[in-house]
Amino acid sequence: MKPSILVARAIFPETLARLSEHFEVESNQVDHIFTPQELAAKLQGKHGLLCTGSARVDATQLAQTPMLRAVANMAVGYDNLDLAACTAHQVMATNTPDVLNQTTADFAWALLMATARRVTEAEHWLRAGNWEKWSYDAFLGADIHGATLGILGMGRIGQAIARRSSGFDMQVLYHNRSRLSESQEAYANNARYVSKQELLATADHLVLILPYSAQTHHAIGAPELAMMKPSATLVNVARGGIVDDAALIAALRQKKIAAAGLDVFEGEPKFHPDFLTLENVVLTPHIASASESTRRAMAECAADNLIAALTHQKPPNLLNP
């Protein structure tokens, strides 16, 4: 008998077809986000789960699903999975690293440039029929070339973001749990390791790309925002919860920093409604990895992991060996 799996969000039909060769598949092509109770009910009798960050897999969930042997997260970040609880329940957990590094780095730049140069704000103004009111000081933004790029969280994506800055003649500063090797720093446009304090005080454009955890919760709150330059741009392509959104809204309102570009939010898909009242933000719905080829690669990577896990092989991206 084939193992049974749940695919908790809609996914490419090609990936579903491939999974169906190996498994009895229950899928959620209507793409409704399951509540924890619905997820537990759907997981009864299932051996595997393919999910995204919108599914929380913790001790409470696992206690109700004794058959479950593997969870394949279709994301590089896995703060939605309690790895210790997975291990305690002998559930293999996997993610989709590397396939999205370059695409996510591209998007960090899209967001940084749109934010610093006020692209979406200007487009809204144009669409509203205001062009006749153009003046010399309309939509003055911050230069990117020659500026200091700060990166908080210098994993593979952070390094890919830094590398792209060489064409803009930027100086790169970073802070990370550990310092990179010399060759990694060279790859990352000669990035220089500094304290978090120096990073905040010196960056003209600060990009957040660190994993979310209890330790990084509100890594950027009111005290950190107060240390930044009033002319600075903040970009978050990491996770909601790394920034204290209420504190960020206050800082943007009081012009303690110039602008923010945000792809992730506390409590998404809901988010603080006051963001919508601000002009100096660019808001996107968690799409940094959303290129056609990368999303397909992520789906295939998650499927590879699940197939390996449930056919007695070691999944390529096992998080809890």
For ligand GLV, the binding residues (CB under 6 A) are 75-77, 97, 100, 153, 155-158, 209, 211, 289
The catalytic residue among 47, 118, 175, 286 is: 286
Contacts of 214 (CB under 8 A, 6+ apart): none
Long-range (24+ apart) CB contacts under 8 A made by 252-256 are 252/278, 252/280, 252/281, 253/278, 255/230, 255/280, 256/225, 256/226, 256/228, 256/230
**Active-site option among 268, 272, 296, 300:** 268
Catalytic residue list contains 127:
no
- State the minimum distance, in angstroms, from the CB of residue 44 to ligand GLV: 27
Least distance to ligand GLV, CB of residue 151, Å: 10
Cα gap 102→289, rounded to integer Å: 9
Closest separation in Å from C-beta 158 to ligand GLV: 6
Burial class (CB in 10 A: 0-12, 13-18, 19+), 183: exposed
- Of 9, 239, 266, 295, which residue is the catalytic one? 239
Question: Looking at beta carbons only, is 156 or 218 nearer to ligand GLV?
Answer: 156
Query: Catalytic site residue 192?
Result: no
Q: Quote the CA–CA distance of 220 and 225 in Å, as a whole number.
A: 7
**Closest residue to ligand GLV using C-beta atoms:** 155
Task: Tell the smallest beta-carbon distance from residue 77 to ligand GLV (Å).
Answer: 3
- Closest to ligand GLV by CB, 56 or 156: 156
Q: Which residue type does 165 have?
A: S
Residue 239 annotated among the catalytic residues of the structure? yes
Which are the catalytic amino acids?
Answer: 239, 268, 286
